[in-house]
Amino acid sequence: MTMIDLADFKMGWRPNQFFAAPAGYEARAQPMATVPDYQASVEELEAAFRTIALAAPRVSVVGEDAAHHRVDFVQRSALFKFPDTISVQFLDRGEGRSSLAIYSRAHVGIGDMGVNKKRVLGWLAALKEKLGEG
């Protein structure tokens, strides 16, 4: 699986995807939600996020680019094991702060009944709580 560049990808027409990024993040795709800055280094943010993502059922890491702080996860549906890919890029925001851009999408079907949006917003809420900012 080839990792995508979250600053340069183009979202498709299907509603089974969700993209969130911090304010000021320059991307071709329009974010659907804003990700806050966290009082944590990029490494701390990535470690906290990995803990949350990998604690979710049927999630595994399928790609990594450590030099650019990028990780791809796959979460499979419970019944049919359909894959959703979640691409994350962790961003140094300066002065001990960091953030992330995240794109979650289904590979099967057209609709997802809001699963990708719910996943992204749920993981971001858990991250805020884990880092003591919530």
SS3 call for 70: strand
Residue 37 has pLDDT above 70, yes or no: yes
Helix boundaries (H) for 1-134: 42-55, 115-130
Is 92 contained in some domain? Answer: yes
Is 4 contained in some domain? Answer: no
Residue carrying the six token digits 């099967």:
108
- In degrees and rounded to multiples of 5, residue 52 shows phi and psi of -65, -50
Is 105 contained in some domain? Answer: yes
Spatial CB neighbours of 30, under 8 Å, sequence gap ≥ 6: 11, 19
- Give the side-chain half-sphere CA count within 13 A for 36: 14
By percentage, how much of the chain surpasses pLDDT 90? 85
Is 5 contained in some domain? Answer: no
Q: What is the CATH number of the domain that holds 95?
A: 3.30.310.220
Is 33 contained in some domain? Answer: yes
38-77 per-position pLDDT tens digit: 999 999 999 999 999 999 999 999 999 999 999 999 999 8
Is 6 contained in some domain? Answer: no
Q: For residue 104, what are the domain limits?
A: 17-130
The two beta strands, 70-76 and 59-65, are antiparallel
Is 66 contained in some domain? Answer: yes
The two beta strands, 97-106 and 17-22, are antiparallel
**Ramachandran sector of residue 58 (left: φ over 0; alpha: ψ -120 to 50; beta: rest):** left
Is 2 contained in some domain? Answer: no
| CB 104, CB 56: distance < 8 Å | no
113-125 per-position pLDDT tens digit: 889 999 999 999 9
pLDDT at 1: 59
Q: How many domains does the chain have?
A: 1
Residue 104 has pLDDT above 90, yes or no: yes
